[in-house]
Structure 1
Amino acid sequence: MSSDPTTPSRVDSVAWTLPNILTYARIALVPVLVATFFISGEMGRWIAVCIFIAASVTDYIDGYIARAWQQQSSLGTMLDPIADKLLVSAALLLLAANETIAGISLFAAVIILSREILVSGLREFLATVQVSVPVTQLAKWKTAIQMTAVTFLLCGPEGRELFWFSSELGIVLLWLAAMLTLYTGYDYFRAGMHHVIAADEKDDA
C-alpha cells in the first residue's frame, strides 16, 4: 500500500529540507536587515552588509544543495524567488530612504522593483494554468549583478575605506542590473503573454 504524499510526515520531510531551511532563513533576515538601518553610525552599515552578503550566499547554496542532493521541491521553487525579491526590495527601499540612491538613479531602483512586481503577477497567473516559466541564465546574471550592486551601496560612505569608488561602482552596477531587468522582464512577459492569449482563446472556444 503506497503512502499518501500529502500525509504530515511527507509534508514535513519536504518542508524541512536543508535548501528550504536556508530559504526560510533568507526571508527571516529581511526584517533584521531593516533593523540595521536604525543603528546609528557606521556599525549599522557594516552589519547590514554582512547580513545581505550572508543572505545572498544562501541564495546560491540552497539551489546548489537542492540539485546536488535531489531535494528540489515545488515549495522551494515558489519560495526562493519570493525570498530574493523581499531581500532586494527591502534593501532598495531603505537605500532610497536614506538617499544612498538618489536623483536619477532612483529610476534604476523603480525599474527593478516594477519588473519584480510584473513578473510575480505573471507567474501567479501562469500557475493557475499550470505553466511554469524557467529562470534564464541571463536572469541569473542579472540577479548576481543586482546583489553585488546592493552590497556596494549598503557600504555607503564607509565603503570608501575599502574601495574608494565603491559608491560609484554600486550605482553603475545598479543601472546595469536595471537594463538587464528590462530585457529579461520583456522576455518573461513575451513568453507569458503567449500562454495568456492561449488561455483566453480556450475560454472563448
Structure 2
Amino acid sequence: METETKIDRRVLRTKEAINKAFLELFSEKELEHITINDIAERANVNRGTIYLHYSDKYDLLDKCIEDHLGKLISFCSSHDLPPETTVAVQDLRAIIEYVGDNFLFFSAMLSNHRSTLFRERLLQFISAGLKNKLDKQDAHSGIDKELNAQFMSSAFVGILEWWIRNKMPHPPEYMADQVRRLFEKNEVYASS
C-alpha cells in the first residue's frame, strides 16, 4: 500500500513536470513547433515517459484543457448558491483567483494565437452557466437570454484575456467587483 502511494506521487510529479514544461513551451512558441523532445528536455524526463501518459502533444494539450476546465466546472457546481450580489462577487472572485493562481496555463492558452480550442471550450462553459442563471431569473428585458449569455461570456473571456495579457494589473477582488457590475447592467445578477 505504501509503495502504491509513492508510485502515485512520482507519477503525479512527473505529469506536473511534463505539463509545466509543455505550458512554458506553449507560451513561447506555436504548438506546431513544439516537439516531444522539447517537452522531455524541459521536463527532465525521457520521451518514453511522456508517451506513457500522453499519445502525442495534441493529447497533452487536450488533457491540460480538460483538467483545468474540469476544475472550474467542479468548483462552480459545488458553489451553486443563490444569485445574491455578495455571493456572486465571491463566485467571480474565486474564479478569477483560480485563473490568477494558474497564470501559466491561462497565459499560454489565451495568449497563443492557435489556442482557439481552449477559448471555445471556455466560452461554452461560461455561456452555459450564464444561460442557466438567466433562465432562473424572471427578468423580462426584451433581450434574448441565449444572446445575452453569449454576449456576456464573450465579454468575460475577453476581460480574462486582457487581465492575463497585462500580467494581472488589478487584484482578483477588484476584477470580480467590476465584472459583477457589468453583469448587473446586463441583468445576469440582480443589483443590490
TM-score, length-scaled by structure 1: 0.38
TM-score, length-scaled by structure 2: 0.39
Q: Larger RCO: Structure 1 or Structure 2 (Cα < 8 Å, ≥ 6 residues apart)? A: 2
